[in-house]
Structure 1
Amino acid sequence: MLKNHLKIAWRNLRRNSLFSLINVLGLSIGLASTFLIFFWVTDEMSVDKFHENNDRLYQVMMRSEENGIVKIHDGTQGPLAEALEKDLPEVENAVTVMNLQEVGMSITFSAGENNFKTQGLFASSNFFDVFSFPLVYGDASQVLNKKEAVVVSESFAVKLFGSVEKAINSPIEYFMFGQNQTAQISGVFKDTPDNSTMKFSFVATKQKLLEDMWTNGKEWGNTGPNTYITLKDNSDVKAFESKIDRFVDKYNEGNMFSLFLRKYADTYLYGNYKDGIQTGGRITYIKLFSFIGLLVLLIACINFMNLSTARVTKRFKEIGIKKTVGGTKNHLVVQFLTESLFLALLSLIVAMLLIVFLMPVFNFITGKNLGLTLIFEHLGVLTLATIITGLIAGSYPAFYLSRFSPLATLKGKFKSKGGELLARKGLVVFQFTASLILIIAVLIISDQINYAINKPIGYQKGHMVQIDLEGKAFEQSSSFFDEIEKVDGVESVGAISESIISEDGGSSTYGIDWAGKPDNLEIDFVFRNVNHNLVQTMNIQMADGDTFSKEMGDLESYLLFNEEAIRLMGLQNPVGKKVRLWGEEKVILGVMKNFHTASVLHSISPVVFRCSPMGHSLAMVRVKSGEEANTLASMNEVFEKFNPGYDFSYTFQDQAYNLQYLTEQRILSLSRYFAILAIFISCLGLFGLAAFNTETRIKEIGIRKVLGSSTYQILSLLSSDFMRLIGLSILLGLPIAYYVMSDWLLKFEYRVDISWSSFFLSSILTVAVALITISFQALKAAHANPVKSLRTE
């Protein structure tokens, strides 16, 4: 029986090749889109969940209330991990981690003549006991026991020494915080997996960092490193959080921070907070694209159902004969479901071919490294999903076709009922409503990203090159700047302690006091050490007072604040007033106009600049427009003169700024492609329905042409019903799109107003695409020879 059903399915597929092609193409595109999103979602959901202690691994977070706003901090006190492990029996392990990637730092390691720049961590000795990064060589509990020890990745060991074996116990040098450091490789770990948020090529010891390079990190009054803990089995997390709420008071009485826990694996997906409340994160995009994937697949299923039910008249006699000779309703249902599954499985094969072809492009758009092995790993899931899709798509046609009366079908007197026509039209409306919403979303997301990238941010980011200072370029920075300024194409050179761009603000301080400061006022100032020329180089405008100048004496006695800082401080006529920075008296030299230190997701931060001749890790160089390539080549020569063998590491400031919107840009790209797919699949179905509608009215069209109807009249006749459905889709889609996108824009502190031009353009585009799709069949019918259509039976 199954063989007979498959034979009939194949014959119907060949007999109705156009409609079968539309069904297979639409369903395969829907399946391919959904499966690609499934692979992406699966990868996103796996991030940071590979650690053996995943269920018991937490990050210790800090909460503070500042000027009525609750702020969340992931940086903690350097001694916190040791204190938690010592004082609280629930803590199995606690580890301190200083991640250089989070502060935008990279350092150059040297082994003989080999010099390579990379990023890494400084961590407690139990780091590899807490986190499951497998060691190729070394014991997890021993490799970081010595202060000078450093553990490197496999690939980094090979880059430096040629092989892992040669790297073991070899000495290595690096430059950090203005000091040359030596270390010895005590172990090698496997390269960090793609689904890890921690990306690093080395792990050095916490003791080295806090005892030799950043001694302030040992103080309870300073924050910066991350603290992670594993709780013992069966620990009550809620009770433990209550226990640590004011834990820091024990070591730093009167501090403003309270502690709480965040599951480590939740950091990636649930990393956003607003006024102290967790407000989502990347999980929002996962939900969004899961919905879009299912929506695209649903649109493809709707095509299948619409075309199957629309062509019911072609199978009336077949159904009638089968019922007359004893065929039951169940028999017919099985037959039609078999045909549906046959087409679905055929679509699965085409979908897999599409995935093979599209996977490299998909990886490029999403920044992933998904492999084709995913198809085989999830083949069972993909097949099951396809079968379910086939059953859902074929269920309505199967039950609908099988209920016909054999007498009515054999006489050819059966007509589609109003309910069936209404359902078919409703499905068309749903398809185009969903497609319209996606098109509007793409336009508004594009407007917001373009606004964010092009919005004036308070300084001139174009033609600005950021150079990492290290080695002798750091030690002899004044000489290095003098040489760089002599390069043709260089307009100005400034220096800063770390990048001005940081989502969490980077280095900051609460340590500023002034006369009249309220006791309960706490301001977290973004803090940077700069040289005398940084403000002019970045073209930061002054609102009041003066900026730093080389001719001024004792520059370290002065500070520059931005307008937001002065507003929060409540100072009137601030220039010339005295403040205290960490207990030292300073004078407000000037007030800078506000500028962004993060993306437009965040509000303007209070900023303070201190002029210092040393301690700058970055040179900011403004170059002439159109001369970037030659200027960079010349600057590279200067850099090599100071640091032979070092990599010349630089970044264009506008590119660094735009990277803040990388996630949104990827979302835009994905949304754009899926919107195109949705409208394409919808048009496939519309094309099929238009073809069928034309086919069933071929004699009517012939008669109308004989009686004198024009091509325009025929076109209007065949397209009017469909265009009314598109108009209804627009009326339904516009308010839904407005509501959805208004809610999405709320995540941005600075955002565009929703322009009605987006709605107008989307509506026109939808109408135009639909009209072109319908017109192809309508014009074909209008230009056909009426004599031939009237003679044909």
Structure 2
Amino acid sequence: MIKHHLLIIYRSFRKFRGTFLVNVAGLSVGLAATLLICLWVMDELSVDKFHEHNDRLFQVMMNIERPEGIETNPSTPEPTAKTLLEEFAEIENAVSVIQVPPRIKGLLSWENKSIKARQQFAGKEFFEIFSYKLLHGSGTQVLRDKNQLLLSDEMAIRLFGSAEAALGKTVEWNGGQYTGSYSVSGIFERAPENSTVQFDVLFCLDLFTEKNPSYLGWSNCASIAYVILKEETSVTVINEKLKGLMKAKAPAWNSTIFLRPYADQYLYNTYENGVRTGGRIAYVKLFSLIACFILIIACVNFMNLTTAKTAQRLKEIGVRKVMGARRRTLAFQYLGESLLVSFLSLAVAVLIVDLVLPEFNSITGKNLALAFDIRIILLFCSIALFTGIISGSYPALYLSSFNPAMVLRGKMHRALGELWTRKGLVVFQFAVSIILIVAVVVVYRQLGFIQSKNLGYNRDNVIYFPNEGPLRKNLESFLTEVKRIPGVVNASDLSFDLTGEHAGTYSIRWEGKRPEDSVSFANLAGDYDVAGILELQLKEGRFFSQETGNESANIIINEAAARIIGFTEPVGKAVRIWEKEKQIIGVVKDFHFESLYENVKPCFIQCMPNQRNVLVKIRAGVVPETLSQVEKLYKTYNAGFPFEYRFFDDDYQRLYTAEKRVATLAAYFAAIAVMISCLGLFALAAFTAEKRRKEIGIRKVLGSSEWGVVLLLSADFTGTVLVSVMIALPLSYFITSHWLDSFAFRIGMEWWYFVSAGAIALLVAWFTVAAQAVRAARVNPVKCLKEE
């Protein structure tokens, strides 16, 4: 019987070759899009979950109560980890880690080789907590000596040629206050790509605390504490016990601590008023939903295309039923057809995925690959099986339900519910497509707004690079010389970047401030020209000036800070920062030193030369040649250090990398959804034309023109698409408004976003239906009215 069914399926495919090819094309594209999203989602969900104790590994978080709300901080005082291990029986192990921002690198040297490397400081329990593989060295002995360090296997190979050759060697580290000679005590395997934390060099935590003794107490937050809970320990219970710890140890913080699963730091990293509100998981859910919609749209096409050819299979169904075929047998045959088409489409989809995966990786910033392990094979086959069953179930039940006496006379039972089912499916297809079109328009408009927004400073043609090595001792001389290079507009230095990385303090006092008020002020610092190179807009007062002399006792504040302090005329007034009196000499207009997701926070700028970053502004039009001259000068001051610079503008754009990727992917998937929806509409048009052949013949005999027939058929589908528009527009408004609400600075919702999406859907529908309508209108009425 199986051989018989396969033969019938083969003959059916040959007879209805066009339907078969369109089915395979629609399902292949839908499956390919779904498989790509599945690979991306699986990669996202795997981040940070490779550690052996993942289910018991937690990060200690701190909620700080402020007048404006609760601030959630991933950093805690340095004694936190040790205290938790000593005072709470539920804690099996704990470690403190100092994570240095990835862009702050040191120079690792051995003999005549020098390489920039990312650093991290960790306690001796580090390799007991985390599953970073220690290739050479003892996990219980490393990270105990301040004069030793560990290298990644990749870094060891680059410096020494092999991991084994690096052991015991003495290397030079040039990185701020930690500059010195260190012995290599161990080699660890580089962190996998699905780890959020990446580092090349691991130092002993005691080295950090020795150089920064102020961080040893409970008054500063610099370290990140990680713990492993004992088996069967309730996180809820331990979090309840932890609530009073900070009040007992550091009441000044007015804070509480709690445990967050370590793997949640990647997908669930957004907190509002102390409550977790999401993060990247929102994009995982979004694209998972898009994958489901695209797959359902593809299945809908199969149903419509299959049932559209019903009239041509009536006699086959009738004869087989008369010969004794059961409904179950017929349903099995048609379901088998859909499953075969689904698995053929899967094979084509895998080829498509293999072809487009490099471009997909380029868009998403991933390094995905088609590795056919058992998990991937089962996933792909499950999706194909699901697709085959869903897309074939309705046609199988529908085709096998016909009465043999009726179908042998060429007549079909026309149920109103059947017609509305097909129209409802097309309405669903186009509603999803319209929502995606609106989303693409809104996301691109918001990105355009971000790129054109006046940030309050000029980021164009401003480069920055680390102030490190010998350059730090001769920075003033370097800045003087770099300003003489033709093409250089100005040069300065700055403590942090302007993309959210900055220092902050609550230790600021002013006349009239209430003791209970606690406000965080961002702290920026640079030399005399920092305000000028950024072209900050002065509202009142003056900028720093070298002619004035020492400006260390003066500060400049922004408008947000002026509003918080509340002075009517702040210039000339004094405030106390870290118990030192500072005079306000100027007020600048608010500028964005964080992303547009955040409101502009109060900040002050100090004149403190020799900061972490060197800034150079270059005249437009001469950037390459000027950069070459700057690099040449840099190497004379900083021999052995690579000239690694970045543009402010590039850093700003990187803030919205995720949004750009979402916009690009949404555009592609919207196009796929529209294309597949057109196939569905084409199927419904073919089905309708098939059913109304006699009506069309009669109308033409009675004098109706071909154009009149085309309008007749098109009007019906226009109504269907208009229903999609009416359903999709309010939903798309709700979805896009919710996304825009995450930005503190956003575009307004314009009417034309929605009208254009609806118009695109209507135009596409008209062009799709027109092909079938014209074909139906040109049929000879004699053939339409002929009864066999």
**Aligned residue in 1 for 2:176:** 177
Q: Is the 8 A contact 1:352 1:375 kept in 2?
A: no
CA offset at residue 249 of structure 1? Answer: 4.1
Q: Is the 8 A contact 1:5 1:339 kept in 2?
A: no
**Aligned residue in 1 for 2:150:** 151
**Aligned residue in 2 for 1:243:** 241
Q: Is the 8 A contact 2:5 2:333 kept in 1?
A: yes
Q: Is the 8 A contact 1:178 1:470 kept in 2?
A: no
Aligned pair in 2 of structure 1 residues 336, 86: CA closer, same or farther (>3 Å)? same
Q: Distance in 2 between matches of 1:177 and 1:49?
A: 33
Q: How does 1:565-584 map to 2 (within 5 A)?
A: 565-584=561-580
Q: How does 1:498-517 map to 2 (within 5 A)?
A: 498-502=496-500, 505-517=501-513
Which one of the candidate residues 329, 339, 347 is aligned to 1:331?
329
**Aligned residue in 1 for 2:66:** 66
**Aligned residue in 1 for 2:743:** 748
Segment drifting more, 38-47 vs 231-240? 231-240
Matched, 1:533 2:529: yes
Aligned pair in 2 of structure 1 residues 544, 671: CA closer, same or farther (>3 Å)? same
Please list the CA deviations of residues 241-287 of structure 1 after superposition, one character each: whole Å capped at 9, or x if unmatched: 23332423444343323211111111111110112111011111111
Q: Is the 8 A contact 2:93 2:228 kept in 1?
A: yes
Kindly provide the amino acid, as one letter, of the partner of residue 348 in structure 2: V
Q: Is the 8 A contact 2:311 2:690 kept in 1?
A: no
Please list the CA deviations of residues 354-378 of structure 1 after superposition, one character each: whole Å capped at 9, or x if unmatched: 1111211221111111111057642
Which one of the candidate residues 585, 588, 592 is aligned to 1:589?
585
Aligned pair in 2 of structure 1 residues 243, 572: CA closer, same or farther (>3 Å)? farther
Matched, 1:618 2:632: no
Aligned pair in 2 of structure 1 residues 781, 411: CA closer, same or farther (>3 Å)? closer
Secondary structure class of the residue paired with 2:172: strand
**Aligned residue in 2 for 1:484:** 482
Q: Distance in 2 between matches of 1:476 and 1:250?
A: 47
**Aligned residue in 2 for 1:344:** 342
Aligned pair in 2 of structure 1 residues 545, 126: CA closer, same or farther (>3 Å)? same
Aligned pair in 2 of structure 1 residues 493, 50: CA closer, same or farther (>3 Å)? same
**Aligned residue in 2 for 1:109:** 108
Aligned pair in 2 of structure 1 residues 750, 679: CA closer, same or farther (>3 Å)? same
Q: Is the 8 A contact 1:113 1:645 kept in 2?
A: no
**Aligned residue in 1 for 2:445:** 447
**Aligned residue in 2 for 1:769:** 764
CA offset at residue 680 of structure 1? Answer: 0.6
Q: Distance in 2 between matches of 1:612 and 1:85?
A: 40
Q: Is the 8 A contact 1:174 1:181 kept in 2?
A: yes
Please list the CA deviations of residues 98-146 of structure 1 after superposition, one character each: whole Å capped at 9, or x if unmatched: 21226x4222212222222122211112211111100121112222111
Q: How does 1:82-161 map to 2 (within 5 A)?
A: 82-101=82-101, 104-161=103-160
Q: Is the 8 A contact 1:136 1:189 kept in 2?
A: yes
Q: Is the 8 A contact 1:497 1:529 kept in 2?
A: yes
CA offset at residue 785 of structure 1? Answer: 7.3
**Aligned residue in 2 for 1:224:** 222
- TM-score normalised by L of structure 2: 0.96
Kindly provide the amino acid, as one letter, of the partner of residue 77 in structure 2: Q
**Aligned residue in 2 for 1:383:** 381
Kindly provide the amino acid, as one letter, of the partner of residue 555 in structure 1: E
Kindly provide the amino acid, as one letter, of the partner of residue 288 in structure 1: L
CA offset at residue 647 of structure 1? Answer: 1.3
Which one of the candidate residues 272, 284, 289 is aligned to 2:287?
289
Q: Distance in 2 between matches of 1:262 and 1:179?
A: 31
Q: Distance in 2 between matches of 1:296 and 1:321?
A: 37
Q: Is the 8 A contact 1:39 1:374 kept in 2?
A: no
**Aligned residue in 2 for 1:467:** 465
Secondary structure class of the residue paired with 1:259: strand
Matched, 1:690 2:685: yes
Kindly provide the amino acid, as one letter, of the partner of residue 431 in structure 1: Q
Kindly provide the amino acid, as one letter, of the partner of residue 513 in structure 1: R
Q: Distance in 2 between matches of 1:702 and 1:632?
A: 76
Q: Is the 8 A contact 2:308 2:690 kept in 1?
A: no
Q: Is the 8 A contact 2:597 2:742 kept in 1?
A: yes
Aligned pair in 2 of structure 1 residues 414, 691: CA closer, same or farther (>3 Å)? closer
Please list the CA deviations of residues 468-518 of structure 1 after superposition, one character each: whole Å capped at 9, or x if unmatched: 22112222111111121122211011211121222xx53211121122211
Segment drifting more, 456-465 vs 180-189? 180-189
Q: How does 1:355-366 map to 2 (within 5 A)?
A: 355-366=353-364
Q: Distance in 1 between matches of 2:782 and 2:435?
A: 44
Secondary structure class of the residue paired with 1:735: helix
Matched, 1:647 2:642: yes
Q: Is the 8 A contact 1:6 1:342 kept in 2?
A: no
**Aligned residue in 1 for 2:715:** 720
Secondary structure class of the residue paired with 1:646: coil
**Aligned residue in 2 for 1:18:** 18
Q: Distance in 2 between matches of 1:792 and 1:361?
A: 55
Q: Distance in 2 between matches of 1:634 and 1:724?
A: 66
CA offset at residue 453 of structure 1? Answer: 2.7
CA offset at residue 682 of structure 1? Answer: 0.6
Aligned pair in 2 of structure 1 residues 442, 374: CA closer, same or farther (>3 Å)? farther
Secondary structure class of the residue paired with 1:101: coil
Unpaired stretches in structure 1, ≥5 consecutive residues: none
CA offset at residue 702 of structure 1? Answer: 6.5
Unpaired stretches in structure 2, ≥5 consecutive residues: none
Kindly provide the amino acid, as one letter, of the partner of residue 295 in structure 1: F
Which one of the candidate residues 390, 394, 397 is aligned to 2:395?
397
CA offset at residue 180 of structure 1? Answer: 2.6
Matched, 1:203 2:210: no
**Aligned residue in 2 for 1:629:** 624
Q: How does 1:368-379 map to 2 (within 5 A)?
A: 368-374=366-372, 377-379=375-377
Which one of the candidate residues 522, 534, 545 is aligned to 1:549?
545
Secondary structure class of the residue paired with 1:556: coil
CA offset at residue 538 of structure 1? Answer: 0.5
Kindly provide the amino acid, as one letter, of the partner of residue 459 in structure 2: K
Q: Is the 8 A contact 1:178 1:475 kept in 2?
A: no
Kindly provide the amino acid, as one letter, of the partner of residue 264 in structure 1: Y
Q: Is the 8 A contact 2:176 2:469 kept in 1?
A: no
Q: Is the 8 A contact 2:555 2:585 kept in 1?
A: yes
Q: Is the 8 A contact 2:215 2:222 kept in 1?
A: yes
Matched, 1:560 2:556: yes
Which one of the candidate residues 660, 669, 678 is aligned to 1:665?
660
CA offset at residue 408 of structure 1? Answer: 0.5
Q: Distance in 2 between matches of 1:337 and 1:788?
A: 33
Aligned pair in 2 of structure 1 residues 246, 589: CA closer, same or farther (>3 Å)? farther
Q: Is the 8 A contact 1:531 1:613 kept in 2?
A: yes
Q: Is the 8 A contact 1:46 1:195 kept in 2?
A: yes
**Aligned residue in 1 for 2:594:** 598
CA offset at residue 184 of structure 1? Answer: 1.7
Identity, % of aligned positions? 39
Please list the CA deviations of residues 519-558 of structure 1 after superposition, one character each: whole Å capped at 9, or x if unmatched: 1111111112211110110011122211111111221111
CA offset at residue 336 of structure 1? Answer: 1.1
Superposition RMSD on alpha carbons, in Å?
Answer: 2.1
**Aligned residue in 1 for 2:308:** 310
- TM-score normalised by L of structure 1: 0.96
Matched, 1:47 2:47: yes
Q: Is the 8 A contact 2:307 2:687 kept in 1?
A: no
Matched, 1:729 2:727: no
Q: Distance in 1 between matches of 2:417 and 2:246?
A: 69
CA offset at residue 789 of structure 1? Answer: 7.8
Q: Distance in 2 between matches of 1:65 and 1:157?
A: 45
Secondary structure class of the residue paired with 1:60: strand
Q: Distance in 2 between matches of 1:784 and 1:545?
A: 84
Q: Distance in 2 between matches of 1:118 and 1:320?
A: 76
Please list the CA deviations of residues 15-56 of structure 1 after superposition, one character each: whole Å capped at 9, or x if unmatched: 111111111111111112112211211111111111112122
Secondary structure class of the residue paired with 2:552: helix
